[in-house]
Amino acid sequence: MLKIGMLTSGGDCQALNAAMRGVVKGLFHKRDDVTIYGFRDGYKGLIYGHYEMLTEREFSGILTVGGTILGTSRQPFKLMREPDANGLDKVDAMKANYARLNLECLVILGGNGTHKTANLLREEGLNVITLPKTIDNDLYGTEMTFGFQSAVNIATETIDRIHTTATSHSRVFIVEIMGHKVGHVTLHAGIAGGADVILLPELPYDIDKVVDVIHTRSQVGKSFTIIAVAEGAISKQDIVLKKKEYKAKLQKHPSVAYRLAEELQAKTDKEVRITVPGHTQRGGSPCANDRVFATRVGATGAELILNHDYGYMVGMVGGDIQKIPLEDVAGKLKYVDPAGSLIKEARLIGISFGD
């Protein structure tokens, strides 16, 4: 009997189900004695022993389904070593449930925080395989995460749709795009959606440079401007502030788009409007590319399990599906390279980064 524990942790995204389906199909293709212990709501289920015993049937028909059939939650890594409200040692509890169920390994799907805890469990002696999930595409060690390509498509469609109102009303539109501390989704959606200005955390902006773009466009008869701003974007003025001062400044507005709108409205007579697609970027059915990528990493995850080869994230390196040691991934972020070719090419066609 092959007993596999599985959980999805952190924010949900597209293709989580597709990836789990890939693992399960890969296992059942070779063996018929597999039981999947699906832990509810991420690490919470592993800590408190909330699980369901699943077979191949439960993973069938979910390739196109958004969200996660196992549920998910955020369990901050920094609190993992702290006892819960009842004094329970969370790491001990996870190890005890793993041992009690006599699991062969854990398959953990998640992003950055999830990988830190997965690596901790590996260090504690558990067999772990992880799959790279996040719309942000900020996981170190892999060129791609599932959810990213779907989110880019949704953010692109938002920019596409904003174009009509922006042109009809000669307005400045700010579209705020998710991505936490990095700008991958914004950069890709901004280029794909034809944004005039793209503002990223990795390239602090100067508000006057953004105003210049609006005015220059007006002078050549382009009465509208579309700005794609990453939720983590920061100005040159703010980057030098102390962390505390910057936090206090952030609290004055619901999000970066509102702050930017206020700053721009004070410097232009054009109407400035905001669109924040928010969690729609994580919702719904995965795009075809995400389904393919998630299936590939799931299938390779199953292969590693069948070979008893543990301690890896399955990701993309050089366009191929590869195993990457968990200790090389945990605790590191993958940023947009400000000197990279995508930024260079965007600049070549006149996109401004406000820098």
Q: Which residues are catalytic?
A: 136
Q: Which is nearer to ligand F6P, 114 or 300 (CB)?
A: 114
Q: Which is nearer to ligand F6P, 113 or 311 (CB)?
A: 113
Distance between CA atoms of 209 and 264, rounded to whole angstroms? 11
Helix (H, G, I), strand (E, B) or coil at 126: coil
Query: How far apart are CB 10 and ligand F6P at their closest, in Å?
Result: 7
Among 41, 136, 176, 290, interactor with ligand F6P by CB under 6 A: 136
Q: Which is nearer to ligand F6P, 22 or 179 (CB)?
A: 179
Establish if 111 lies at the interface with ligand F6P (CB under 6 A): yes
Nearest to 198 by CA among 351, 20, 25: 351
Which stretch, 90-98, 120-128, 129-137, 337-345, contacts ligand F6P (CB under 6 A)?
129-137
Angle between helices 288-306 and 148-169 (to 10 degrees): 170
Binders of ligand F6P among residues 154 to 213 (CB under 6 A) are 178-180
With contacts defined by CB under 6 A, how many residues of the chain interact with ligand F6P? 10
Q: Which is nearer to ligand F6P, 80 or 272 (CB)?
A: 80
Residue nearest to ligand F6P (CB): 178
Helices (H), 171-269: 184-192, 207-219, 236-239, 243-250, 256-265
Q: Which is nearer to ligand F6P, 110 or 298 (CB)?
A: 110
Q: How many helices (H) and strands (E) would you count in the chain?
A: 13, 12
Query: How far apart are CB 282 and ligand F6P at their closest, in Å?
Result: 5
Token pair for 182: 């990095």
Angle between helices 90-100 and 112-123 (to 10 degrees): 70
DSSP for 296-336, please give it: HHHHHHHHHHHTT--SEEEEEETTEEEEEEHHHHTT-B---
Establish if 229 lies at the interface with ligand F6P (CB under 6 A): no
Going 293 to 131 to 278 to 194, the CA torsion angle's sign is negative
Establish if 134 lies at the interface with ligand F6P (CB under 6 A): yes
Residue numbers at the binding site for ligand F6P (CB under 6 A): 11, 111, 134-136, 178-180, 231, 282
